[in-house]
Chain A
Amino acid sequence: MNEILSGLFLGAGFGFVLERAGFGNPNKLTGQFRLTDWSVFKVMFTAIVFAAVGLMVLERFGLVDAGSLFVPPAFLGAAALGGALVGAGFAIGGYCPGTSVVGLMSGRIDAAIFLLGLLLGTVLFAGIYPNIEFLTTLGEYAKADALPEAFNISSLSIDIGMVIAAVGVFVLGSWMESKSKGPVSSQV
């Protein structure tokens, strides 16, 4: 497919679903961290499991070449540190980078400010890059980039484990939602 069209269409699907799920709303998004709204976990786990199982099936039928898929390199220290900073930014700012675009499109000024912060954070990083370049390759795990190779387990076993974990997230999440004021179900 043409690069421009595939980007626009897949991106539009991504943005549409995120908005539908309520992920342009910072009160809903951060409800995950207050443990009153488990939608972020539920949606992400479901999507990850669906895509992981789907990729395994497509690979079996020879429709997707596993070797040509992009697997991020295992700089685990960098991933952990970056994850911590993005998590803190999410909890304090109310969005992650992708959802701030969704928040902005539904008229939220705070999402525009968050996006401005994203650009400032990027400029700050670029400005001191020579001094902190080592952070981006921190904690490399040389043996493997993905779970099946690292632990010598089949993708099938991992996928089954993830399905069970996802069911657990729904059960635990729904129970904790029922014990608190529960999920944010609409804008107002």
Chain B
Amino acid sequence: MSNAKKILSQQQYLNPLLAGLLLGLVLLMTFAITGHGLGATGFTTRLAAWIGMHVAPVVTNANDYLGGMVEEGKPLNAWITWQVLGVAIGALLSAFLAKRIHFQLDGKKFLGGSKRPMTALFGGILAGFGARVAAGCTSGLGLSGAAVLSLAGFTFLGTFFAVGLLASRFLKEEK
């Protein structure tokens, strides 16, 4: 098997140094082409606005935060929507080639055992709320913000890791 083919089909995760260099290359290309970095919650916020527009149009229109996004009726019409769609396609392709697609409820061992659906939901709520306070998430503010040496990016990463370390002490591993 050729080397490239081996890397594409192997079950083992990629060496972190190589993965980091490749991620850095994608990030650098993103800055060079678009002038900004990579993100994620820019999309989920717009998706929330889009769902709101269809489920509760009056409330969403009147909302101070989401109202502006639905004003023209196309909250999903943004670069970040295509980028997150791209993330999904790229991840699917990679997982498929490495035969890593398995339907499962993962993370029970470390994240709550039988209460895993609750830890996933609660963690998502915290992250979704926090990303709106900071106007960015691990990708948008942490990764991209640190690459342009921003104070906000490094500040975000600092508390992100400190509180993550602390919070994970409260989760017991299932034997």
Residues of chain A having any CB pair with chain B under 8 Å: 1, 3-4, 6-22, 24-28, 30, 32-35, 38-39, 42-52, 54-55, 58, 63-64, 68-76, 78-111, 113-127, 129-130, 132-133, 135-136, 141, 144-148, 150, 155, 158, 170, 184-187
Contact = CB atoms under 8 A, between A and B. Distances in A.
Contact of A82 (B22, B47, B146, B156): B156
Contact of A83 (B33, B89, B142): B142
Nearest to B122: A92
Interface of B: 11-14, 16-17, 19-41, 44-45, 47-48, 51-52, 63-66, 79-95, 98, 100-107, 109-111, 116-117, 119-139, 141-143, 145-168, 171
Give the interface SS of chain B, mostly helix, strand, loop or mixed.
helix
B11 to A, nearest CB: 5
Chain A interface mostly: helix
A44 B134 contact: no
Given A72-B152, A90-B160, A118-B124, A47 B129 contact: no
Nearest to A20: B14
B31 A69 contact: yes
B106 A11 contact: no
Contact of B87 (A90, A102, A185): A102
A90 to B, nearest CB: 5
A30 B130 CA distance: 18
14 contacts: A6-B82, A8-B82, A13-B90, A17-B22, A19-B94, A26-B106, A32-B164, A83-B134, A92-B119, A97-B40, A110-B116, A125-B129, A147-B150, A150-B151
Contact of A89 (B21, B94, B125, B165): B125
Contacts of A42: 16-17, 20
A96 B85 contact: no
A-B pairs, 6 with minimum CB distance: A93-B123, A117-B124, A11-B86, A82-B134, A121-B128, A46-B20
Given A15-B89, A107-B102, A108-B106, A69 B148 contact: yes
B143 A47 contact: yes
